[in-house]
Amino acid sequence: MSARACPACGEVTDHRFRYHRNGCDIWQCARCGLGRADTRGFDPRAYYTGEYFSGARCDGYSDYPAAEPVLRREFARSVELIREYRGEGRLLDLGCAYGFFLQEAAPYYDVAGIELAEEAAAYCRRSGLNVLSGVADDTNMTRIGEVDVITLFDVIEHLPQPRDTLALCCRHLRPGGIIMLTTGDFASPVARLAGARWRLMTPPQHLWYFTPQSMRGIAASLGLSLVRCDHPGKLVPLSLILFQLRRMLGLGGSSITAASHIGIPVNLFDAMRIVLRKSIP
Ligand SMILES: [Zn+2]
């Protein structure tokens, strides 16, 4: 046990050492279950490059652009769900990658994105999207202005200060606006059973491992109401499944582009989708 400040509990709590993975120590808050990777000398700017999305990194994506049709079908379903909560207005996607989600949302919203990988951000701009390079900091958020919807798809677990980023999002959200995010569920049976070998246990890429309880804690501390928390199934490119299987079996990464356009419905119930709403004063 070790005492650390938990961003979800908002105070110093006991943390349990769980395991060692990829040179990082994984610790878990004994109260809310939030997991964290202790990393030293990790530079995200050197890490999230074009290579991250093309399969050159064994823990990144396998050929993300080739999986566009499958990803877009999945994102279209997310747009439908978002419309149930906030039907119109301005939408901002953080970590928008190649802009596939923004393309699906564009018929219904005035869309914008922020993306750290320069190559992906430039691709978005060439596709006609309003996408800023960099991270969700004060400068970029001010340039974007107030929005009605902010989405973070499998992004929050990568952020050095996830609570601070959500606080910043909250300040730029219009009253009644929503934040939709997806991330792994560290409290799920699959995550508990798989332990250090869980498919989403990939430090230093993933720095945080959230639980429903830790997300509720963060939401409450920011004055956001948690209006949805579920574990939806997802269409996954077959190439990504093969890629993750090879990595799990220690065979190393190699991208199989032909399998990228085939979408397989998968639900391991180890990933959650959360909708937070900013109250109307
Ligand atoms: Zn905690």
- Spatial contact of 60 and 52, defined as CB atoms under 8 Å apart: yes
Separation CA 68–CA 226 (nearest Å)? 30
- What separation in Å is there between the alpha carbon of 211 and the centre of ligand 1? 10
Q: In DSSP terms, which residues pair with 183 in a beta bridge?
A: 272
State in Å: Cα 7 to ligand 1 middle.
7
CA of 28 to the centre of ligand 1 (A): 8
Produce one character per residue of 18-54: b if its CB has 16 or more CB atoms within 10 Å, e if not: beebeebbbbbbebbbbbbbeeeeeeeeebbbeebbb
Of the candidates 187, 166, 154, the one whose C-alpha atom is nearest the C-alpha of residue 273 is 154
Distance 218 CA to ligand 1 centre (A): 9
- Please report, in tens digits, the pLDDT of each residue of the chain (281 residues total): 899 999 999 999 999 999 988 888 999 999 999 999 998 756 666 666 666 666 555 445 556 777 888 889 999 999 999 999 999 999 999 999 999 999 999 999 999 999 999 999 999 999 999 999 999 999 999 999 999 999 999 999 999 999 999 999 999 999 999 999 999 999 999 999 999 999 999 998 899 999 999 999 999 999 999 999 999 998 888 888 888 788 778 776 555 566 777 888 889 999 999 999 999 88
Residue 35 alpha carbon to ligand 1 centre in Å:
9
Q: Report CA(6)–ligand 1 centroid distance (Å).
A: 5
53 Cα to the center of ligand 1, angstroms: 32
Q: Is the separation of the CB atoms in 275 and 180 below 8 Å?
A: yes
